[in-house]
């Protein structure tokens, strides 16, 4: 099974999100080997979840609050997303960490909130360009994994990690597939220090229809988290076809 997750970020309004969701499910061919999840803007989450209900496409939240309900202006919790039928959530995306100041402790709390609500967390980790320039990519990854996984009670739940080097996200500069594979092997080793649960690891960062097979052909890369290329239906369909074939 290859996982292809589509982060629509804040690229689309509600109408555009509906159209993309409808087109995706209407044009979906039978792909038993693909698990596709889309992450729409929160404003479109209800509509897109209704559109995808009963189809092979699942829907997730781009971000969650860690408390279920309360006086948290502007926030939406894992519980509220669960109530509308979302089954996944991105946690700790680099844009949340670097633009909105999320820390590893926040990522941990959000991961726990997802697990409590039976939402599958997709924990995003990755080093910055500065980390890499200083040879600290493994240090950064190790720390991010430790802060989330140490003592985490996963139980029978599913959990994903997305390796998204910050310098590759939204830049058009993808990580070389061999380097991504090396990092995935390291990530799997680090996670194994904390849990026996098999955690699929996705690669994300400037994936497109032309470079996707470089990642999909690695046995250590379990899928891709796609940003900008996922909101162009022709390109996203080409990504799915390339991986499915």
Binding residues (CB under 6 A) for ligand PEP: these are: 7, 9, 164, 169-170, 204-207, 225-229
User: Which of 68, 101 has the CB closer to ligand PEP?
Assistant: 101
Two tokens, residue 21: 């969701």
Which residues are within 8 A (CB) of 219 and not within 5 positions of it... i.e. 6 or more apart?
none
Minimum Å gap between C-beta 116 and ligand PEP is 24
Minimum Å gap between C-beta 227 and ligand PEP is 2
User: Which of 132, 195 has the CB closer to ligand PEP?
Assistant: 132
**Out of 95, 127, 164, 181, which one is annotated catalytic?**
164
| 164: annotated active-site residue | yes
N- to C-terminal Cα separation, the chain: 12
Two tokens, residue 205: 């960062």
Specify the DSSP element, H or E, that contains 7.
Answer: strand 2-7
**Out of 93, 137, 181, 184, which one is annotated catalytic?**
93
Contact of 220 with 183, CB cutoff 8 Å: no
| 93: annotated active-site residue | yes
Contact of 164 with 125, CB cutoff 8 Å: yes
Cross-strand pairs, 163: 125, 203
User: Which of 80, 229 has the CB closer to ligand PEP?
Assistant: 229
CA–centroid distance for 187 within its chain: 15
Minimum Å gap between C-beta 170 and ligand PEP is 4
Minimum Å gap between C-beta 174 and ligand PEP is 8
User: Which of 39, 81 has the CB closer to ligand PEP?
Assistant: 39
Q: Pick from 123, 46, 109, 116: which is nearest to 79 by CA?
A: 116
User: Strand 34-39 and strand 88-91: pairing?
Assistant: unpaired
User: Which of 152, 224 has the CB closer to ligand PEP?
Assistant: 224
CA–centroid distance for 88 within its chain: 9
Minimum Å gap between C-beta 173 and ligand PEP is 9
- Active site amino acids: 93, 164
């Amino acid at each position: 099974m290859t996982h292809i997750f589509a982060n629509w970020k804040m690229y689309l309004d509600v109408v555009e999100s509906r159209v993309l969701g409808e087109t995706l499910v209407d044009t979906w061919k039978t792909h038993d080997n693909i698990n596709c999840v889309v992450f729409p803007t929160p404003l479109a989450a209800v509509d897109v979840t209704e559109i995808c209900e009963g189809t092979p496409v699942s829907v997730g939240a781009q971000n969650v609050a860690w408390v279920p309900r309360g006086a948290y202006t502007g926030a939406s919790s894992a519980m509220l997303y669960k109530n509308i039928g979302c089954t996944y959530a991105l946690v700790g995306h680099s844009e949340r960490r670097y633009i909105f100041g999320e820390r590893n402790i926040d990522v941990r709390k959000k991961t726990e909130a997802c697990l409590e609500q039976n939402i599958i967390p997709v924990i995003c980790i990755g080093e910055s360009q500065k980390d890499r320039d200083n040879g600290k990519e493994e240090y950064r990854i190790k720390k991010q994994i430790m802060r989330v996984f140490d003592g985490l009670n996963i139980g029978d739940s599913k959990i994903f990690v997305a390796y998204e080097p910050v310098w590759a996200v939204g830049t058009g500069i993808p990580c070389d597939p061999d380097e991504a594979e090396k990092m995935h092997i390291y990530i799997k080793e680090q996670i194994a220090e904390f849990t026996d649960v098999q955690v699929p690891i996705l690669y994300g960062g400037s994936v497109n229809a032309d470079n996707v097979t470089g990642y999909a052909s690695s046995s250590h890369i379990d899928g891709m988290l796609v940003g900008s290329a996922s909101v162009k239906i022709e390109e996203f369909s080409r990504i799915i076809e390339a991986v499915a074939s």
